Chains A and B, each alone.
Chain A
């Protein structure tokens, strides 16, 4: 039993170690991506700083607006990074041509997903912290009333449901060797639009507001704002944990089930072989 657990942990660790080795070898790209992400987050946050000048209003609470946008950009960086790392796990293997070797190894998909998830969460967290520290250094913000424990809990629970969505999206590169990776960007764009990253979802057209309700990012953002910006949201931060837990409980097993079905389909049709 212990031997078996050890073996499975070793398999999951194989993916964690491999991915960190890839980060190390592609360090140049990582630096470029980090610089781009910092610039992107800063430019969004400066909209808050410039709101008074843009509108001509002098009564605008710019600190509040900056914090509101900062939470949006950081949470989105974190969730999008998790989504990318999970949804692209098949695409990476296709680019490198290693997919057959990974699928031929005696590894249960759950162990592969676990390894990929651990990497995605650690990597995304570190990435987001660096961006957050750099961006926050540009502004004089006060987080003394913030409920950091609830914020962390919401972020972690929310990341689980995003892992589930990432697993579902990772099926696309499995089924469509050439176009699958691009298709995952459409999924990501959908969540960016409807989840109220930089604005309250109430400003969206009614039909998009319905779609916002099925996005876990909506609840993560509202929960984070409730925790870090007291008074902005009526509900308690922890009230956003339950919908996120429910979504995670549905999305993770659903993602695994669909992935296994897709894997069987590719083995029947010979789509594993093509290295798109």
Chain B
């Protein structure tokens, strides 16, 4: 049994690296030429960003990259704890490592370093027990698109040991609440809009009544009413079913109203962690009460200039 004082989630010093195809030599050559000629600060930023990608240095314990590959550290020594019945938000720009982190927590990726425990159970060594306690909603509503919501949901529920009859009743209740048309329940998923598919994805996770729910941008693509309904569902899961929720989102308002605490991730590292109010206190007041968006912008602002923008950037043209 799970002890009552065990935290829902303990993430300790997690590192996850990937071998990805490295930049072709001709591109590196043209870029290094531009860097040599460049006279403004933007050129230096390119070099700094490469600190996130390591071509094979082993001085800091990073393994050497395979030939033609480079090592990208997606999650870089991340640690935090989530208490039971807490709604914990993870914010960060695209590519900051949020989804990789969620995949590690949901047993889909093995960390290179560090440990993750879910209610005291190690996600690697006791993965089967962990799987029974968790579920995940991701931004890509992945389903057998020819099958109907009913067929998909019954399949998903049976994998968690829920009987077809029970799942059928619950699924219809949840989908009705989320505003799915009744006749859509037996139509192929491919005929549904992206938002509708996302609602079915949310129902799939809620059906199994996980005690740790991992929500990876669950409300992306939903209309405002459905967003509110999902948020209310999330609160209900916590309040009625004692579930703990970890959520990633790009909706700062949603994070603000929903989360008890928030971690901001940038380049795979946690750059801030606290309650929404604590985080807002840290932000500069530019003539108004800081919002979570201000905090996000200040902490991850350099991501506003993307790598691709820099490689296409021609300083002479802009300056002239």
Contact = CB atoms under 8 A, between A and B. Distances in A.
A268 interface: yes
B142 A104 contact: no
Given A96-B142, A104-B107, A105-B160, A14 B136 contact: no
A98 B158 contact: no
Contact of A268 (B107, B110, B145): B110
Contacts of B161: 7, 10-11, 106
B103 A17 contact: no
Interface in A74-113: 96-98, 100-108
A10 B167 CA distance: 12
A273 B103 contact: yes
A273 B103 CA distance: 9
Contact of A104 (B18, B106, B164): B106
Given A101-B142, A269-B19, A25 B147 contact: yes
Q: For chain A, what secondary structure do more than half of its interface residues adopt (helix, strand, loop), or is it mixed?
A: helix
B108 A98 contact: no
B110 A264 contact: yes
B143 A107 contact: no
B142 A97 contact: yes
Interface in B267-304: none
B183 to A, nearest CB: 17
B131 A96 contact: no
Interface in A228-276: 264, 267-270, 272-273
A100 B108 contact: yes
A17 B144 contact: no
Contact of A107 (B147, B159, B204): B159
Interface in B90-147: 100, 103, 106-110, 128, 131-132, 134-136, 138, 140, 142-147
B110 A103 contact: no
A11 B131 contact: no
B7 interface: no
B256 interface: no
Contact of A22 (B19, B136, B147): B147
B188 interface: yes
B245 interface: no
A198 interface: no
B159 A106 contact: yes
A102 B108 CA distance: 10
A264 B158 CA distance: 24
A98 B188 contact: no
Contacts of A100: 103, 108, 138, 142
B158 A96 contact: no
Given A21-B151, A25-B188, A103-B108, A13 B158 contact: yes
B136 A267 contact: no
A18 B18 contact: no
A100 B106 CA distance: 10
A1 B160 CA distance: 17
Contact of B159 (A96, A97, A102, A264): A102
A100 to B, nearest CB: 5
Interface in A37-87: none
Contact of B136 (A11, A98, A104, A264): A104
A26 interface: yes
B18 A17 contact: no
Nearest to B74: A270
Contacts of A14: 154-155, 158-159
A267 B158 contact: no
Given A96-B144, A106-B131, A267 B151 contact: no
Nearest to B145: A96
Nearest to B205: A101
A119 to B, nearest CB: 13
Interface string B28-59: 00000000000000000000000000000000
B158 A10 contact: yes
A98 B143 CA distance: 6
Interface in B55-107: 100, 103, 106-107
A96 B110 contact: no
Contacts of A107: 159
Given A11-B161, A18-B147, A21-B147, 20 more contacts: A7-B161, A17-B158, A17-B164, A18-B144, A21-B151, A96-B142, A96-B144, A98-B143, A98-B144, A100-B108, A104-B136, A106-B131, A108-B128, A264-B110, A268-B109, A268-B110, A269-B18, A269-B19, A270-B100, A270-B109
Interface of B: 16, 18-19, 100, 103, 106-110, 128, 131-132, 134-136, 138, 140, 142-147, 151, 154-156, 158-161, 163-164, 188, 204
6 contacts: A10-B158, A96-B142, A100-B138, A103-B108, A104-B106, A269-B18
Interface of A: 7, 10-11, 13-14, 17-18, 21-22, 25-26, 96-98, 100-108, 264, 267-270, 272-273
Closest 5 CB pairs of A and B: A14-B158, A106-B131, A105-B159, A97-B142, A25-B146
